Amino acid sequence: MTNTPFPDGFLWGGATAANQIEGAYDADGKGLSVQDVMPRGISGPRSETPTADNLKLVGIDHYHRYAEDIALFAEMGFGVYRFSIAWSRIFPKGDETEPNEAGLAFYERILDELEKHGIEPLVTISHYETPLHLAEQYGGWTNRELIGFYERYARTLFERFGSRVKYWLTFNEINSLLHAPFMSGGIPIPEGGVPEQQLYQAMHHELVASARATRIAREVAPEAKVGCMVLSMPIYPLTPSPDDAVAVMEADHGNLVYGDVHTRGAYPGYFLRTLREKGIELDITDQDRDDLTHTVDFVSFSYYMSIAETADPAKKVAGEGNIMGGVSNPTLEASEWGWQIDPVGLRLVLNQFWDRWQKPLFIVENGLGARDQLVEVDGEKTVVDDYRIAYLNDHLVQVGEAIEDGVEVLGYTSWGCIDIVSASTAQLSKRYGFIYVDRGDDGTGSLDRYRKKSFGWYADVIRSNGASLTR
């Protein structure tokens, strides 16, 4: 194929997370994670114990149907599959000294299946799945002890799977911590919110843990490539006023600091200013500073939407967003869940990250959450999801543009390549997949899988290495 900007060996695939796909929440010695008490997603109330209305307890039963699912991924021609390991399958409470063998064995079976189909695994070590015990007994990532527990968990994974898994991500969307402390950092939220001092300390602990994992991987699994993972959301000035431009710069800094630390090995000056102005003093040891110098091999990120920002309080019309919001951009259309669709923003983000960090980039989440309708076409049940095809096509065209701009992109894994439970709303009706799963928001359904129209479309994109995209 010549008519494509995508380089040979570009990794095409899809992505999921354990808590949204596996189900089997208490099988084979698994402990509870924060997700097991979040029946309504990020903004809903948490439950004391797991409740039947929590769709994640069953998910799409990938725990038992993984072979069928991976075979469908292979049919689309996936070269890579991103999944996460549920921390509480490996260390059920999080603070044990010995791992749960049955949990490790499950991921061994997943790796066997991927290997059988020649699909490269891309593993997220922690994807919004902190063991509940660490949240309740330790206060989650506000507690320095979490670094040691995470270190033991990461070491266990590198020792066991390091020779089979080349690409690792330390924390999913690490920059979501301040915005979703319980889901992202296992930090219980008291009335009035978590004090900022504690949130920033938790952020520091995660950054140190991420760097330590990178250091351990170098020792234990020298072939492995370790990346960070950030939620990307380009921010546009609402007007051309310099004040709006400064508001954008400051909002941007709040997100870029994570990648800056991961790629440069120290906190940037603008972040120290933020801490000073907030009157926050972080507990940073000499060992922490040394750990932070272990920088990542690549940067990965999610991309769904962009947002705007303004310095003028009178013009602030809140926009819906993926975990973190901003000001609504009047030039863009939004999805049914209010996320503003902006393919060009993906090219901008790719260029910004590449210019800033000079590390290979991996797009590990992108897609459209939409309501789908199962229909019958030529005797086969399917979904005619032209809206999803249009969204993905237009974003991939922009990835091609960025590659032409000289950005090094390792691969692309579209989010929720099979329908899974939504992270923000805990719904099943917010679907991203190429594969429809028969399960509704009320939990009923056969769990049968059906190929959507986008399934064949994506297979063509992969087969042609992007040449079939409509420009």
Using the rule CB under 6 A, is 35 a contact of ligand BGP?
no
Taking CA 41 as the corner, what is the angle to CA 37 and CA 46, rounded to the nearest 5 degrees?
A: 35
Using the rule CB under 6 A, is 369 a contact of ligand BGP?
yes
For residue 435, count CB atoms less than 10 angstroms from its CB and return exposed for 0-12, middle for 13-18, buried for 19 or more.
Answer: buried
* Number of shown-chain residues binding ligand BGP (CB under 6 A): 15
Please state, in angstroms and rounded to a whole number, the distance separating the CA atoms of residues 231 and 432: 17
Please state, in angstroms and rounded to a whole number, the distance separating the CA atoms of residues 424 and 45: 12
- The amino acid at 395: H
Name every residue whose Cβ is closer than 8 Å to that of residue 215 and which is 6 or more positions away in sequence. 291, 294
**Of 86, 224, 323, 428, which one interacts with ligand BGP (CB under 6 A)?**
323
Name residues contacting ligand BGP, limited to 158-187 (CB under 6 A).
Answer: 172-173
**What x-and-dash track marks residues 71-100 binding ligand BGP by CB under 6 A?**
------------------------------
Question: Quick one: 11 or 428, whose CB is closer to ligand BGP?
Answer: 428
CA 370, distance to chain mean position in Å, is 18
C-beta of residue 347 within 8 angstroms of C-beta of residue 361: no
Question: Quick one: 198 or 302, whose CB is closer to ligand BGP?
Answer: 302
Nearest distance, CB of residue 5 and ligand BGP, angstroms: 26
Question: Quick one: 17 or 203, whose CB is closer to ligand BGP?
Answer: 17
C-beta of residue 13 within 8 angstroms of C-beta of residue 80: yes
Nearest distance, CB of residue 235 and ligand BGP, angstroms: 17
Please state, in angstroms and rounded to a whole number, the distance separating the CA atoms of residues 347 and 399: 6
CB atoms within 10 A of CB 2: 5
Question: Quick one: 100 or 413, whose CB is closer to ligand BGP?
Answer: 413
Determine which helix (DSSP H) or strand (DSSP E) holds 303, and give its type and residue range: strand 298-303
Name residue 237's beta-bridge partners: 309
Listed ranges 200-208, 238-246, 283-291, 422-430: which one lies at the site for ligand BGP (CB under 6 A) = 422-430
Question: Quick one: 126 or 172, whose CB is closer to ligand BGP?
Answer: 172
Question: Quick one: 152 or 431, whose CB is closer to ligand BGP?
Answer: 431
Nearest distance, CB of residue 424 and ligand BGP, angstroms: 3
**What x-and-dash track marks residues 423-452 binding ligand BGP by CB under 6 A?**
xxx----x----------------------
Phi, psi values for residue 298, rounded to 5°: -155, 165
- The amino acid at 336: E
C-beta of residue 267 within 8 angstroms of C-beta of residue 261: yes
DSSP-derived letter for residue 30 is P
Nearest distance, CB of residue 77 and ligand BGP, angstroms: 23
Name residues contacting ligand BGP, limited to 217-256 (CB under 6 A).
Answer: 231
Cα distances from 163 to residues 67, 159, 324, 372, in angstroms, run 22, 8, 36, 40
Nearest distance, CB of residue 367 and ligand BGP, angstroms: 7
C-beta of residue 154 within 8 angstroms of C-beta of residue 125: yes
Nearest distance, CB of residue 304 and ligand BGP, angstroms: 7
Using the rule CB under 6 A, is 302 a contact of ligand BGP?
yes
173 is known as an active-site residue: no
* Full DSSP string of 410-423: EEEEEETSB----T
Question: What six digits make up the tokens of 372?
Answer: 């789908």
Question: Quick one: 267 or 362, whose CB is closer to ligand BGP?
Answer: 362
Nearest distance, CB of residue 43 and ligand BGP, angstroms: 11
Listed ranges 158-166, 284-292, 420-428, 455-463: which one lies at the site for ligand BGP (CB under 6 A) = 420-428
Determine which helix (DSSP H) or strand (DSSP E) holds 154, and give its type and residue range: helix 145-161
Nearest distance, CB of residue 17 and ligand BGP, angstroms: 5
Cα distances from 233 to residues 200, 206, 252, in angstroms, run 21, 21, 9
Question: Quick one: 244 or 365, whose CB is closer to ligand BGP?
Answer: 365
Nearest distance, CB of residue 129 and ligand BGP, angstroms: 10
Question: Quick one: 231 or 403, whose CB is closer to ligand BGP?
Answer: 231
Residue from 365, 380, 404, 408 carrying the catalytic annotation: 365
DSSP-derived letter for residue 242 is H
Listed ranges 70-78, 419-427, 437-445, 461-469: which one lies at the site for ligand BGP (CB under 6 A) = 419-427
Cα within 13 Å of Cα(421), Cβ side = 30
Using the rule CB under 6 A, is 322 a contact of ligand BGP?
yes
Provide the 3-class DSSP secondary structure of residue 235: strand
**Of 415, 434, 450, 458, which one interacts with ligand BGP (CB under 6 A)?**
415
Provide the 3-class DSSP secondary structure of residue 380: strand
Contact positions toward ligand BGP, by CB under 6 A? 17, 172-173, 231, 302, 322-323, 365, 369, 415, 422-425, 430
Which residues are the active-site residues?
365
